[in-house]
Each structure stands twice: as C-alpha cells, then as structure tokens.
Amino acid sequence: MQIEMPKEVNIILNILDYYKYEGYIVGGCVRDSILGRNPNDWDICTNCTPHRVMEIFSRFKVIPTGLKHGTVTVVIDDKHFEITTYRVEKEYIDGRRPKEVKFTSSLKADLKRRDFTINAMAYNLQNGLIDYYGGIRDIADKKIKCVGDPFERFSEDYLRMLRAVRFCAQLDYNLDVQAFKAIKNLSKNIVNISSERVREELNKILLSDNPAKGLELLNETNLLKFIIPELQRCVDFEQKNPYHDKDVFMHTLCVLENTEKDLVLRLAALLHDIGKPQCFSIDKRNIGHFYKHHLKGKDITEDILKKLKYDNKTIESVKILVKEHMSKFNNVTPKGVKRLINRVGAENIDRLFKLQIADILGSKPPHDFSNIQNAKELCEKVLNEKQPMTIKDLDINGYDLIELGIPPGKEIGIILNKLLDIVLDNPILNKKEVLIEKAGKLYKK
C-alpha cells in the first residue's frame, strides 16, 4: 500500500530521516487516505524531541504550538503541519486532559494511547503502513473499535464517546459492542465536557452523510438524554394522529435525513417538533393534537442552543424556522409572501420551504408539495423584482410625514405601517407623491 502525500509532508519526513530520526504521518490522514477521502490535516509523529524539531526545521517558520505536549508546527509554503514527539500519557485528571505527558522513543507506545484503531495507524515510504492494533481489519469490517480497553479509553477523555458516534455517522460504520457498552455505562460523564466541544461534535454528526444514524446512536448509548434531554423525551412519543405513521423522534430523524448539509437547516429539522411532548392533547375521537407546538418549540429551541453556546445569528435563524414551519399556503398572495419574507428573512425563506418539504416527506403519504411550490415561486418573483416589503422600502419616511404637519410620535409609525399595507397590495403605488397624498388622508381620519 502506498499513500500519496503532499510535497511539504515529504520534505518534513525527508529532513527527519536526514537527521536520523523516525517520522511518520499518523492518525486521521492515514485513515482518510486509505478510505480515498481527502485529509483535512497531515499530522506527523517522530521520536525527535520538540526542541530538536525546532532546531532542524529552523530554515522554515516554526511555531511552538504545545511544547509541553510535544507539538511543534512547521509552516511550509503557508501550510501548517503539526509534528508531535512520540508520547505516553499518565493519569487523566478530569476526563479530558492527562496529568502528565512523557516522551517515548516507541512508536507502538505512542499509537497505543490513541482513541480508535482506525486512528492508530502510521505510515512512511520506507516502512509502509504500521498497524499494530488492527485498524485495517476494522476498516474492512466498518467498525469503530477502541485501542485496548474501551472503558479506559473513554474514561481518559469523555469527549471520545461523542467522537465514536460521530465517526459512525461520518463513515457509516457500526460501533463495536464493547465500545457501545462502555459508552452506555459512562454516558452521564459527558456533562463534564464543555458545551463548546459537545456542540462541535454535534455539528459534525448533523453535517455527516448519516445524521439520523448518529442521533439514533446518541439515544441508544444514553448520551442524548445528557446532551439534549428535551429531544430524548420525543423518543417513542406516539402521535396518535392520522397524518403521522412514526413517533415524534423517528419522524424527526426522517425529516433530518431529507434535508441538505446546511447546519441551520439541519438544526431546525432536529428541533422543529421539540415542543410536541409538552403540547400533546387528545380529543374525543382519540386523535392526538399538538396545538401551538411550533411556538413552544421556538422557546425550547432557544434554550437548547444557548446551552450549547451557539452564536446568536444561528439561534435566531433556527428559532424562526421552528416557529414558522407550520405556516400554511392554501391561498397564497403576493402580499402574504411579502409578510412571510419579512418574518422569516430573505436568507431563511428557502430553508423554510426545504424544511416544510422534508417535514411532509417524514409524514404519512400521500405527499403533496404543491402549495409550498406555489409559495416558493411567488417568493422568488417578489425577491427578483425587488418589490417593496418593509417600511424602509417605502418612497417616504417619518421626516416627510413630519413636514406634512403630522406630529412626531406613535402616529408616524401607525401611518407608515398603513402605507406599507397599501404598497404590499399594490407595489406601483410606492411613489412619494402618491404616498404623501394617502398619508394626508390617513391623518385626517
């Protein structure tokens, strides 16, 4: 097996070899190369100490990224490459960081500390693939398996539990039975990991090719109830409704699978029905209803995303989509879609239609998208024609109304909103002289 490496990586390995040091590419770049995927990073490991690495690479820009942990970054042609000295890690103190890092001359010992077998392989041209722990076998078996005892590996770093699920979703692999048992046993410890790190792993699961697989695994391992307990309450929640043939959680996963790789859209798909368990009621015919679940869902969504430290823009967009996903378009009009665009935002309107289509696909057939398609086409027309949609788009403003003799205050806003209502119905009336005339009549009333 031969792995094609960037020329900069070959330069680094050749320099290490020239000075009689071992050098290998290691971890994810080896795994991805074997799988035919493009590696994001090319990491190098060596028996050369970090200070010596800085000496022998002094002709390049060298950044002491983490000398204490043996990592130095070498910059070649504006590309960054981390070179890390072989190391073993002693006693993890908080389920995240080792108490002590000790350098070693043994590649085998260095690879033994890594999380999963598929990430514990090394490669160079002279020695080929080094696979002490069965990574190639587990790639063939499509299995995520720990190096050594899974209970120890996950106890060292609780984030590895989420990484295991994430790799299953990204690669469409299955979780090794012993790893599954260990995660289930240790799942409550995920609360010791920072919200930011949990969020980043969740994002990678959501943006994978198999987000539903990842979410199912989060639930089966009990991680979900510690990360998003509100979503775990949707599991096995029967809807008792003729329009649905799945429980709330399975419906959610189906909607998720029918959306594209857009984080805002997939978060909205994940949380669009999060309010249903709290809004459930059943009528005299034993039919279930979820009145105003989109409004309750908006508030729950905000709480979840804030807890996971999402940025304000993402939170606002996802909230809007959750709130508006129940919007109906039975008798759509230009005025109606303009108001919709105002509520949702031009940047989110297409996401809303995609979410609604996915929502229908996740429900009981038959599936009819005609109303959504009509609204979508009308929105595109309005946006392409740049028709006026907000008070800011009016060819008149508050100062013009004051010049008409209308006193500053609440009355100005009321009249501007009435003028907007007129223009939403008939865009050709958006001319200053016309609006001044209408404003005068409105004020006299």
> Is residue 373 one of the residues assigned to a domain?
no
* Residue 419 belongs to domain spanning: 391-444
Phi, psi dihedral angles at 150 (to 5 degrees): -60, -35
Question: Residue 124 half-sphere exposure, CB side, CA atoms within 13 Å?
Answer: 20
Residue range 34-59: mean pLDDT, rounded: 95
Q: Does residue 318 lie in a domain region?
A: no
CA angle 222, 92, 150 (to 5 degrees): 45
Instruction: For residue 219, give every residue at least 6 positions away whose Cβ sits within 8 Å of its Cβ, in sequence order, or none.
Output: 225, 232, 235, 249
Alpha-carbon distance values, 426 to 329, 338, 415 (Å): 20, 12, 17
CATH value at residue 124:
3.30.460.10
Residue 247 lies in a domain: no
pLDDT of residue 393: 87
Last residue of a domain, one of 111, 141, 171: 141
**Pairing, β 143-144 against β 174-175:** parallel
Residue-level pLDDT at 182: 98
Name the domain count of the chain. Answer: 2
Q: Determine, yes or no, domain membership for 230.
A: no
Q: Between the CA atoms of 117, 123, 129 and 133, what dihedral angle is there, to the nearest 10 degrees?
A: -20
Domain end: 75, 107, 141, which one? 141
| pLDDT 10s digits, 280-320 | 999 999 899 999 999 999 999 999 999 999 999 999 999 99
Instruction: Tell me the backbone φ, ψ of residue 58, rounded to 5 degrees.
Output: -65, -20
**141, 176, 205 — which closes off a domain?**
141
Please state whether beta strands 281-282 and 128-130 pair in parallel, antiparallel, or not at all (unpaired): unpaired
The helix/strand/coil state of 407 is coil
Res 1: pLDDT:
78
For residues 113-117, average pLDDT: 95
The answer to whether position 308 is within a domain reads no
Within 8 A by CB and 6+ apart from 145, the residues are 116, 117, 118, 134, 138, 176, 178, 179
Q: How far is the C-alpha of 300 from the C-alpha of 248, rounded, in Å?
A: 16
Residue 99 has pLDDT above 80, yes or no: no
Is residue 148 a part of any domain in this protein?
no
Residue 399 lies in a domain: yes
Q: Is residue 174 part of a domain?
A: no
Please spell the DSSP secondary structure of 258-305, one letter per residue. Answer: TS-S-HHHHHHHHHTTTTHHHH-EE-TTS-EE-TTHHHHHHHHHHHHH
Q: pLDDT (tens digit, 9 = 90+) per residue, 367-415?
A: 999 999 999 999 998 888 888 888 888 888 888 888 888 888 888 888 8
